[in-house]
Amino acid sequence: MSTTGISKRRVVIAVARKDLTIEWNSRILVNQVAPFAAIVMVLFAFALDNDGILQRVAPGLVWLATLFSMLVVIQRSFTVESADGALDALRVAGVDMGAIFMGKTIALMVQLFVLELMLVATAVILYGVEMTLAGFCEAIVTLVVATIGLGSVGTLYGGLAAGARGRETLLPLLLLPAVAPVLIGATRATEAAFGSGGTTVSEGWPWIGLLLVFAVLFSAVGTVAFGPLVDE
Amino acid sequence: MDTVIELSGVVAVLGQFPALAGVDLSVQCGEIVLLQGPNGAGKTSLLRVCAGLMPIERGTGHVLGIDLATNREAIRSRVGLLGHANGLYLDLTVMQNLQFWASTVAATASEVSTAMSTMRIDGRLADVKASQLSAGQRRRCALASLIVRRAEIWLLDEPHAGLDAAGRDELDALLRSAVASGATVVLASHERDRALDLATRTVTIDGGGAA
């Protein structure tokens, strides 16, 4: 039976569900990644140890903690594929690689979004960040759009590094420079949402526009390039 | 019987080195063909060519009527290649692994159930994580995924590796059962005596050519 005859959407859903089931079975996000992210936030608080500074830099700390945690989640996402040759088996079976990319991206986005919500809540509790209703809405939009970008670029680079020797160190080297625009855009948009340093909510929307461009660009590039990159 | 694999003078290159040097091979539906030859003779390359994973440089080849030179990617979804790895998700249960494969090819729940009972991984084993299975049980789970995927040709590279004597007996019985159900098997194995008992025909690969 040809998988080319199967709708792409069906494969996307199957891959996303599979990755989320693996997370549900193993609880790596809950038991390891989330505590790691929380510890990073606490260490930032110890290092800066000043409420005024913490409130000012909270948006940047939230996104830095997200990026560090994302590295762990992506490594995990591709370790499960390579542990017993599963990704190879999918490739050999002719399963649409673009659909695999999209499925893995969706699963990564769901996990990142949960993590980001937890980090924002930590910033509110630990750093004393306050938000208006408009700021809260802008923060949610920022999380959603930035997560699409991070999920796409993370899956693309995760797939690229998966077959390489020294992938554990290669992934951060490749990924962190590539997501710099997301770090900048998301931090500025979140600053506006938090009202850090006297910024207003309206100042965040142009940055969200930048995040949207990044998300669309890498979603499209990833869907096309993931297969050839993994094949290589 | 229908010819499912027909290769004539096939040359394939791996990097800069010839992996296959003018292979002729014809396999009929329902056969169990054993590829034998020393390490590096080209057995794995031949299996990969038949799976549509490796391009051919010269010669002509058809698998299930599909031209290897022009449309080899279309072959991938109709054959099952099982190498040293099993292609399982170790944090998923047996059932979840097979349900995942089923969802990629729109196989039904009853097909999954049939595959599991054929490979004797139903009942208690269905809810066991793949990481907790023995080598033989993982192999059976991988073979069940080939059934779920409705692979018409099973290309098996060292299928007996890692199995104990009982597991090897079981695997042989399962392959005979698969062939009885309409599949064709091409395998490379260093378990010569065992594989000779299993195979309906042997093909010797030497220096990249078949004899």
- Residue A100 placed within a domain: yes
- Residue A1 placed within a domain: no
How many domains are there within chain A?
1
- Residue A12 placed within a domain: yes
- Residue A2 placed within a domain: no
Of B53, B84, B129, the CB nearest to A92: B53
The side-by-side arrangement of strands in the sheet containing B209-210 is B79-82, B153-157, B184-188, B32-36, B201-206, B209-210
- Mean pLDDT is lowest, of A204-218, B23-37, B177-191, for B177-191
Per the DSSP assignment, residues forming a β-bridge with B209 are B206
- Residue A169 placed within a domain: yes
Of A3, A17, A18, the CB nearest to B77: A3
Which pLDDT score is estimated for B207?
A: 61
**Rounded Cα distance, B167 and A212, in Å:** 54
Which pLDDT score is estimated for B28?
A: 93
**Rounded Cα distance, B52 and B78, in Å:** 10
**Rounded Cα distance, B167 and B162, in Å:** 9
**Rounded Cα distance, A45 and A61, in Å:** 10
Q: Which of B107, B181, B183 is nearest to A3 (CA)?
A: B107
The domain in which residue B110 lies consists of: 3-210
The domain in which residue A221 lies consists of: 7-231
Taking a C-beta distance cutoff of 8 angstroms, is the pair A158, A19 a contact?
A: no
Least Cα separation, residue B208 to chain A (angstroms): 22
**Rounded Cα distance, A155 and A37, in Å:** 20
A219: confidence class by pLDDT, cuts 50, 70, 90: very high
Of B52, B80, B91, the CB nearest to A26: B91
Q: Quick check: B104 and A14 CB within 8 A?
A: yes
Of B90, B103, B107, the CB nearest to A84: B90
- Selected residues 77-116 of chain A with any CB under 8 Å from a CB in chain B: 80, 83-86, 88-90, 92-95
Which pLDDT score is estimated for A3?
A: 45
A2: confidence class by pLDDT, cuts 50, 70, 90: very low
> Using beta carbons and an 8 Å cutoff, which residues of B are at the interface with A?
51-53, 73-78, 80-81, 83-93, 96, 100, 103-107, 129-130, 138, 145, 149-150
Which pLDDT score is estimated for A1?
A: 43
A136: confidence class by pLDDT, cuts 50, 70, 90: very high
How many domains are there within chain B?
1
- Mean pLDDT for A218-227 is 92
Parallel, antiparallel or unpaired: strands B153-157 and B184-188: parallel
- Selected residues 18-77 of chain A with any CB under 8 Å from a CB in chain B: 18, 21-22, 25-26
Q: What is the ipTM of this complex?
A: 0.84
**Predicted confidence (pLDDT) per residue in B40-69, tens digit:** 888 989 999 999 888 899 999 999 999 998
Least Cα separation, residue A45 to chain B (angstroms): 36
- Residue A116 placed within a domain: yes
**Rounded Cα distance, A188 and A201, in Å:** 10
**Predicted confidence (pLDDT) per residue in B167-204, tens digit:** 788 788 888 888 888 889 999 987 778 888 889 999 98
**Predicted confidence (pLDDT) per residue in A12-34, tens digit:** 999 999 999 999 999 999 999 99
Q: Which two tokens stand for residue A174?
A: 């490749």
Q: Quick check: B85 and A88 CB within 8 A?
A: yes
